[in-house]
Amino acid sequence: MKTKTYKPSVAFLRQATIKNPEAEYKKAAKDYLKYWESAAKELEWGKPWKKVLDDSKPPFYKWFVGAKGNIVQNAIDRHLANGNKNKVALLWESDSGQHKKFTYAELDQAVCRLANGLKSLGIKKGDRVAIYLQNIPEAAIAMLACAKIGAIHGIVYAGFAAHSLREWIELTEPKLLITQDAGIRRGKRYSMKPTADEAVKGLKCVKNMLVVHHSKIDVPMVKGRDISYHDLVDKMSPKCETEMLDSEDPLFILYNSGTASKPKGMVHVHGGYQVQIHRTFNWVFDVKPNDVFWSTADPGWITGHSYTIYAPLMAGVTTLLFEGVPNYPKPDRIWEIIDKYKVNILYTAPTLLRMLMGEGDQWVKKHSLKSLRILGSVGEPINPAAWKWYYTVVGKKRCPIIDTWWQTETGAHMIVPLPTLPLKPGSATKPFPGIFAEVVDHDGKKVKDGERGLLVITKPWPAMARTFYKAEKYFKETYFKRFPGKYLTLDVAMRDKDGYFWALGRADDVLKIAGHRIGTAEIEAAIAHHPAVMEVAVIGKPHKIKGESAKAFVVLKKGFVGSDEISDGIKKKIRSEMGPVAVTDEIEYINKLPKNRNGKVMRRVLKAKELGQKLEDVVVFD
């Protein structure tokens, strides 16, 4: 494949920390356990490890075995002693343009108060706490407070509807749900507390609901169960000891869309996770001590966990949280914020870039953007046109584009450039030092360079998810059964002659709509709840801005005829059960779904027909 490569500018190279990436790949490959051990030594621990990796029970790997510590020790505590105390840790810009700041010392106090509050509610190590909050400082504070005392946080994206939140609560059985009265977006309020009330109705596990009165609207509070956030924390002490945990103790469980109709919870732990997010963050974004870092990802997603909250705080830089949307009130809101806070590193998603690109270059050109040094992309393949626009119009050819391939499962960056590597638009370049990937065929044999196949990771890595909560067997079967000893990413990829990887999309029945990973099975389950529906199959179609959009093929029960009314009803069902991102753009009524001999619906047949492809042209991996 002939693609232009983009070399780093002389000015960028001069200031870069890692000037010779190839040397780092080699060094890490020589002894990868030693490499990860040296990364771990950059952090503070309560007690050192006895062994770097325990691989005696694959695929349940353990890292930094025997070590004690806590991610909060590195994200906050050490900054109180190392001169970062008065540096801004968290910057928050509201939808309407107000801002709030927390220095590391202030963040520590807020986290300690809430941690003490959690303890006063009986939350202990190992207890789950569900968090249903928008992108507000309390979301970060809640995560850190849970981590500090060894409670396990489980965040549900604020855009999800009551049904999804309820499924999550049924799965993780939290004692406490932290939510807010209402969220604000595009100047409009949308209530969240009533959604939370509906989600917990009749469930016994949730003993308390902590409510952040963020929008200051009246919401019904259930006596004996609901507590105002400030009523609780204001009377608590701003000092709280950070619990020393085992490095394999869970830090969070995160909602994960897959091929099952019910979502699963990915379990991530304190030790290995913090090592890999720290190392990747520092190297990939070439972080400098006074950087202002802005990841537009909501804390409800893995990017929000790893790179909006934890990694920037561990690095002791300033992280920016933004409540609103990048094109409100005007299409240049995102560029305005970059100039306002002098953002150095921007980390965002291709779907957003395509949308902003569509607004026209004039909106970008109104702003200087000269503080920017590095531009990151995450969530789906970045098409070369968007890459070049990002590079030229936003970055003025000064800033490397860092295309980061990874997953909720991987916890941290996996295939990603070191910023002084020559870049190719559309490729996430090479596996990070200490990470090993291959492209294989159906039998697990490596394919030739230039050929497509399945992307696998061939060695364990520190930040890998340890399991699915309460579903170990399903975890093993999904990712490790097909090629024992190797992790199946479920992505189709190609490796070129230079050893660069090109992630080409999902091989399973999972869509990527506007960067959100949504299982076709989850949408189908919601549609099937409509009383007129007998059977349904959902497929993804390429979409100019969203990357993919969902189309549903519906077979109706006897006596029903497809109509706009039924379609509206179906869309309403999806919206109320899953939230707006999952709503199908198109619904087509058909008499019968194509099925194989085992009765499995062949979505790829529907897809090939829809896209006018011959079935032979469709990559089939099942």
Closest alpha carbon to 516 in 586, 580, 581, 585: 581
Question: β-strand 264-269 against 318-322: which pairing, if any?
Answer: unpaired
SS3 label, residue 528? helix
Q: Nearest distance from residue 474's CB to ligand WT7, in Å?
A: 16
Phi, psi (5° rounding) for residue 72?
-70, -30
The least CB distance from residue 517 to ligand WT7, in Å, is: 3
CA distance linking residue 604 with residue 539, whole number of Å: 8
User: 548 phi and psi, to 5 degrees?
Assistant: -140, 150
| In the complex, least distance from residue 600 CB atom to ligand WT7, rounded to whole angstroms | 22
Which of 345, 428, 525, 556 is the binder for ligand WT7 (CB under 6 A)? 428
Gap between the Cα atoms of 153 and 18, Å rounded? 35
d(CA 467, CA 169): 18
Q: Which is nearer to ligand WT7, 53 or 311 (CB)?
A: 311
- 247 part of the interface to ligand WT7, by CB under 6 A: no
Q: Examine residue 146 and tell whether it contacts ligand WT7 (CB under 6 A).
A: no
Helices (H), 173-269: 193-200, 229-233
Looking at residues 290 to 329 of the shown chain, list those that interact with ligand WT7 (rule: CB under 6 A). 301-303
Asked if 75 interacts with ligand WT7 (CB under 6 A), we say no
Find the part of the chain contacting ligand WT7 (CB under 6 A) among 167-175, 321-329, 377-385, 391-399. 377-385
Q: Which of 286, 332, 403, 438 binds ligand WT7 (CB under 6 A)?
A: 403
Please report how close the Cβ of residue 214 comes to ligand WT7 at its closest, in angstroms.
26
Closer to ligand WT7 by CB, 116 or 164: give it: 164
Q: Are 71 and 140 within 8 A, CB to CB?
A: no
Decide: is 407 part of the binding site for ligand WT7 (CB under 6 A). Answer: yes
List beta partners, residue 467. 267
Q: Mapping DSSP to helix (H, G, I), strand (E, B) and coil, where does residue 311 land? A: helix
| One residue of 379, 417, 431, 433 binding ligand WT7 per CB under 6 A | 379
Binding of ligand WT7 by 116 (CB under 6 A): no
DSSP H stretches of helix in 252-408: 270-284, 302-303, 311-314, 333-341, 350-359, 362-365, 384-389
Min separation Cβ 565 and ligand WT7, Å:
34
514 touching ligand WT7, by CB under 6 A? no
- Residue from 3, 1, 16 nearest 398 by CA: 16
CB of 490 to ligand WT7, least distance (A): 6
Which backbone phi and psi does 119 adopt, to 5 degrees? Answer: -60, -40
Rg for the chain (alpha carbons), in Å?
24
**Candidate residues 140, 199, 346, 378; the one interacting with ligand WT7 per rule CB under 6 A:** 378
Q: Is 381 in the site for ligand WT7 (CB under 6 A)?
A: yes
**H or E element at residue 148:** helix 137-149
Binding mask 465-504 for ligand WT7 (x = CB under 6 A): ------------------------x-x-----------x-
| Binds ligand WT7 by CB under 6 A, chosen from 157, 405, 475, 500 | 405
Task: Tell me if 70 sits within 8 A of 246, measured CB to CB.
Answer: no
Residue 102 or 252 with smaller CB distance to ligand WT7: 252
418 binds ligand WT7 (CB under 6 A): no
Question: Is the peptide bond between 594 and the residue preceding it cis, with omega within 30 degrees of 0?
Answer: no
| Contact flag: residue 517 with ligand WT7 (CB under 6 A) | yes
The residues that touch ligand WT7, with contacts defined as CB under 6 A, are 301-303, 378-381, 403-408, 428, 489, 491, 503, 506, 512, 517
